[in-house]
Amino acid sequence: QPNVGAWGDTLKPGMKCIAVSRDLLSIGINHNTKVKITGLKGIYLVKDKMNERWTNKIDIYMGDNIKEAREWGSKKVTIQYAINPD
């Protein structure tokens, strides 16, 4: 089920959420952690975990927008986590 995250969250287009590689869980980036991503507006929530083969990575959920996903592509970004949304 591609629209269901590892913690059982249903993902819907328009949601600002990401999947994280499992190594990031050990540094405190867990389910529903608030994350800021360089180059993108707003706050994203961690809603999914990636396959164990990936390390030090995030995957940004872009819903059904294939064009936007292709335009964004694969990038190195900086993230901030454990942030206060104010």
pLDDT at 86: 56
pLDDT at 85: 56
pLDDT at 59: 95
**pLDDT tens column, 36-85:** 999 899 999 999 999 999 999 999 999 988 898 999 999 999 999 986 65
- One-letter amino acid at 75 equals K
pLDDT at 3: 86
pLDDT at 1: 76
How far is CA 66 from its chain centroid?
A: 16
Token pair listed for 52 = 């164990």
pLDDT at 62: 92
Q: What is the C-alpha to C-alpha distance for residues 57 and 22, in angstroms, rounded to an integer?
A: 9
Contact predicate 16/42, CB 8 Å:
yes
